[in-house]
Amino acid sequence: MSHSKDRPSYLAHHFSDPAQQSDSAKLGMWIFILTEILLFGGLFVAYSIFRAWNPDMFYNAHKFLDVKMGGINTVVLITSSVTMALSIRSMQLGRKKQTIGFLVATLLFAAVFLVIKYLEYSHKFHLGQLPGKFYTFTGVKGNNPHIFFSIYFVMTGLHGVHVIAGMTVIVMMLVRTMRNRFSSEYYTPLEMTGLYWHLVDLIWIYLFPLLYLIG
Amino acid sequence: MIESTMINRNSHHHIAPLWLYLAIGGALLVLTAVTITVSYIDLGGWNIVVALVIASIKGSLVAMFFMHLYYDKKIYTIVIVMGLLFLSIFISLTMFDTGRRGDIYEIKSEPIKPEADFYKELPPADSLDQTGHSEH
Amino acid sequence: MSSMPEKNYLTEKRGLKSWLLTLDHKRIGVMYLIGISISFALGGIFALLIRLELLNPGRDIVGAQTYNQLFTLHGAVMIFLFIIPGIPAALGNFVLPLMLGAKDVAFPRLNLASWYIYVFGALLAVVSIFTGSVDTGWTFYTPYSTQTSGAVVTMTLAAFILGFSSIFTGLNFIVTIHKLRAPGMTWFKMPLFVWSLYATAIIQVLATPVLGITLVLLILERVLGMGIFDPAMGGDPVLFQHFFWFYSHPAVYIMILPAMGIISELISTFSHKRIFGYRAIAFSSFGIAFISFLVWGHHMFTSGQSELASMIFSFLTFFVAIPSGIKVFNWLATLYKGSISLDTPMLYALSFLFLFAIGGLTGMFLATTATDIHLHDTYFVVAHFHYVMFGGTVIAFLGGLHFWWPKIWGRMYNENWAKISALLVFVGFNVTFISQFIMGIKGMPRRYYTYLDQYHRMHGFSTIGSWIMGLGFFIMVVYLVHSIYKGRPAGSNPWGSLTMEWETTSPPPTENFAGDMKLTHGPYDYDKIVPRTD
């Protein structure tokens, strides 16, 4: 209160300086990432157990996933991660226009990811490879192949929800960047968005080999 | 782990060079190609190990350089390692059950069939169709 | 006699809107306190109805189906709406920044959001009562929960949403403790309540997401018939129990750890003596938090899990006794040769020691696989659970509530009535649940609507005990509410305590302290400083 003169406008009242504020945000974000890891972790546990119980069925069922589409999506998502990282770097250097360009690119890649995911889903719906009791496909050898597709849809579906959430946040960041809310001094929200987006990429890095590439 | 609340007021943000981001991105793409290729080679039980190792290398690259763990305070790495530790506890202790049922007493686990007594005694028996799928 | 400060967080802004949009951790804490109190009253009414129904075998007041819904609601409301948010979100929210000498928690908006999420989840749980209700027990075990016609999806969704509220609180506390300590407050100068909230918050952020995914899978199992928990479709219902208890066992420590933190504060303050074994108590919280993740399978000894898993889980469970024992012995050593004043909060602390010892030791019976086969799903488990959760957590919560009540409202309650009420709650609780231990050993199964004649007398005792407890709580509500308006001004440090929250006025100003805080002495330096009481 006594030193209100040197307090920048983005500094909340209960922090004593910008470093304390941005460190707090970052620690909070990493703890949030931790919760996301455990959220997906539950699905990885279910995956591991059912795969251990039904190794052959998992192998047979995974052949009905399209490696080409999954691979393209992996490339798309990795590229979007690069553009996201670069958008933050641009803001660190104070280049607002570049930041906007990279954010838009990230959004576009994310959209491409979702379109490809949609194509994959609709193909499976068409064949009757649906989760659980809606499963009607007969081409997979082994017991209870619907379990594989249940897990596939829940894992990729939850990941897809995260992609959409990430896109929403990126749009918000885009708007705030355009309104000059960030500078090379203060860009914490942008940085947090980046962390979140890389997490989305990180999860896909594990989902892709576990679902599409069962050897 | 122990941080003081007195924070240096001039902490500079770390700005990584452009080539680093591009190099990491390139490495990730190469590793993706590698993991796809390897999956077509039959290595028996080692396929899954190789796939997970490659995925973990990729994941570490993303975490260390895109997410800046490499430059940042160690506490953030600790947070994430804790998550992985507890996840591995979850998987391994559950597997002690699901992988070892019937070890001592010779009870073989079998799938419960729709014609099992359990299902006959349920009050609305007609709510189960012939495949045993619940209609709810 | 001191007077009330003119300007404080209660009076600075007025009107409902100033409360609903507040970012002040103290106001949010009070709003949480109101929320959990209503939930506790609701859950308590369910409990009284259950006990009334069990007064005689057969039908007394409700039918079997309603009875099943009542015990489910009692469990779900008490666990998810009262006891998990109880100490951290209500008392912790109010006290934590004050104890650290901070102006607020690290993320005030997130804090308010967590309250709204809590209210939304609570309303959804209430909606489920009117849309068919749930009769699965609070554990939602499959396959029954996927087949019953009750409103499982609504209730599960409510629990899922409440999980976010809990995660946000935990996340907020961890960052606050790391980043917002006043200058001079090093890690080992923090009060032990803060340490316990820290350990609790770690469990909250590690375990609650797993509950989230479990409940999502349960909902999908019901809606889509996913099959992963359905044995007829190649799934495994025992897997649901693993998922559920991976959260819900650590969750038991989300409930008890902050309670232990309160007890550390109370025992030191009212013995006017430095806490014995400060570091041992602080680290044992983390010991408990860590071990809590390794023992969930002890809920599943009779579920059909592998014998190997049962042995491992049984073995690991006994380790919980070590850090718990460390705490209890350190508290006893603090009492030894202390100058003990028996104010109401201290009465609760002493009750805690007595009841928690019984609750903890009976847990050993249940951790032993051989005895557990006999005791599983009997009233013995019910009694053990209530000795830990009520005798432990609720008693400590009440102790903390009476301890910080003058800080929250600036006014003191009537000590005589408070002592009478504490006594009634203590006696009523023991009458209710000792009889349940006896019934349980004799084989009375839990959750049954009716019972054989041989259990009639014990059920009678138990029901009478519930009335005594109910009377105690009724008196408590009356004198506490009365004190808000008519109590005498408490002064800033009525108990003579050395932690930082007592250095500001009661009630504190909106910005918590006049000026920036700096630590001048440790939280338990009773051997060096005579605390200022006024």
Residue A5 has pLDDT above 60, yes or no: no
Identify the DSSP state of A163. Answer: H
Per-residue burial over C107-128, b if 16 or more Cβ lie within 10 Å, else e, is bbebbbebbebbeebbebbbeb
Option in B94, B103, B114 nearest C232 (CB)? B114
Is C149 in CB contact (< 8 Å) with chain B?
yes
Q: Which residues of A touch C243 (CB under 8 A)?
A: 42, 45-46
Averaged pLDDT, A107-121: 97
Subunits in contact with chain A (3 or more CB pairs closer than 8 Å): B, C
Is B67 in CB contact (< 8 Å) with chain A?
yes
Residue C209 has pLDDT above 50, yes or no: yes
Mean model confidence pLDDT for chain B? 79
Do residues B59 and B91 both lie within one domain? Answer: no
ipTM of the complex model: 0.94
Comparing C-alpha atoms, which of C258, C256, C163 is closest to residue C205?
C163
Residue B69 to residue B63: CA distance in whole angstroms:
6
Please answer whether residues B32 and A206 qualify as being in contact, where contact means their C-beta atoms are separated by less than 8 angstroms: no
Domains of chain A, CATH where assigned: 19-212 (1.20.120.80)
Query: C213 vs A40: CB contact, 8 Å cut-off?
Result: yes
Option in C181, C210, C309 nearest B96 (CB)? C309
Torsion of CA C116, A165, C128, B119, to 10 degrees: -150
The whole domain housing B40 covers 17-70
Is B25 in CB contact (< 8 Å) with chain C?
no
- Is B135 a domain residue? no
Query: B97 vs C306: CB contact, 8 Å cut-off?
Result: yes
Per-residue burial over A9-45, b if 16 or more Cβ lie within 10 Å, else e, is eebbebbbbbbbbbbbbbbbbbbbbbbbbbbbbbbbb
Express each pLDDT in C423-436 by its tens digit: 999 999 999 999 99
Higher pLDDT, A186 or B115: A186
Residue C267 has pLDDT above 80, yes or no: yes
Which residues, 6+ apart, have CB-to-CB distance to C69 below 8 Å?
C129, C133, C134, C135, C150
Do residues B77 and B96 both lie within one domain? Answer: yes
Is C6 in CB contact (< 8 Å) with chain B?
no
Is C106 in CB contact (< 8 Å) with chain A?
yes
Express each pLDDT in C475-484 by its tens digit: 999 999 999 9
Q: Which CATH class is domain C16-503?
A: mainly alpha
Do residues B23 and B62 both lie within one domain? Answer: yes
Q: Could you say which residues from 101 to 160 on chain A have a Cβ atom under 8 Å away from some Cβ of chain C?
A: 131-134, 143-144, 146-147, 150-151, 154, 158
Comparing C-alpha atoms, which of C31, C169, C94 is closest to residue C507?
C94
Is A136 in CB contact (< 8 Å) with chain B?
no
Mapped onto helix, strand or coil, the DSSP state of residue C12 is coil
Which residues, 6+ apart, have CB-to-CB distance to C480 below 8 Å?
C405, C413
| Element holding C294 (H helix, E strand) | none
Please answer whether residues C148 and C139 qualify as being in contact, where contact means their C-beta atoms are separated by less than 8 angstroms: no
Please answer whether residues A27 and C174 qualify as being in contact, where contact means their C-beta atoms are separated by less than 8 angstroms: yes
Do residues B59 and B82 both lie within one domain? Answer: no
Q: How many CB atoms lie within 10 A of CB C371?
A: 14
Q: Which residues of C touch B98 (CB under 8 A)?
A: 236, 238-239, 306
Q: Which two tokens stand for residue C346?
A: 């201290």
Residue A194 has pLDDT above 80, yes or no: yes
- Is B87 a domain residue? yes
Residue A89 has pLDDT above 80, yes or no: yes
Q: Can you say whether the dihedral through the CA atoms of C374, C378, C379, C384 is positive or negative?
A: positive
Option in C178, C225, C306 nearest B103 (CB)? C306
Q: Which two tokens stand for residue C443?
A: 């084989």
Q: Which two tokens stand for residue C67?
A: 């009875």
Please answer whether residues C254 and C84 qualify as being in contact, where contact means their C-beta atoms are separated by less than 8 angstroms: yes
Q: How many CB atoms lie within 10 A of CB C1?
A: 6
The pLDDT assigned to B79 comes to 96
How many domains would you assign to chain B? 2
Length of chain B: 136
Question: Secondary structure of A33-60 in the HEC alphabet?
Answer: HHHHHHHHHHHHHHHHHHHHHCHHHHHH
Which residues, 6+ apart, have CB-to-CB distance to B16 below 8 Å?
A89, B65, B68, B71
- Is B62 a domain residue? yes
Alpha helices in C293-414, H assignment, sequence order: 307-318, 321-335, 344-367, 369-375, 379-388, 395-409
Q: Which residues of C touch A131 (CB under 8 A)?
A: 220, 224, 226
The pLDDT assigned to B11 comes to 46
Query: C217 vs A154: CB contact, 8 Å cut-off?
Result: yes
CA dist list (Å): B38 to A213, B49, C48: 9, 11, 64
Averaged pLDDT, C371-393: 96
Strand partners, C488: C412
Do residues B61 and B82 both lie within one domain? Answer: no
The pLDDT assigned to C6 comes to 80
Amino acid at A149: F
Please answer whether residues C230 and B118 qualify as being in contact, where contact means their C-beta atoms are separated by less than 8 angstroms: no
Is C63 in CB contact (< 8 Å) with chain B?
no
- Is B104 a domain residue? yes
Query: Mind telling me how many Å the CA of C25 is from chain B's nearest CA?
Result: 20
* Phi and psi angles of residue B134, each rounded to the nearest 5 degrees, phi first: -70, 140
| Element holding C412 (H helix, E strand) | strand C411-412
Mean model confidence pLDDT for chain C? 94
Express each pLDDT in C119-136 by its tens digit: 999 999 999 988 888 899
Express each pLDDT in B94-110 by its tens digit: 999 998 887 777 666 66
Averaged pLDDT, C281-305: 95
Residue C234 to residue B113: CA distance in whole angstroms:
9
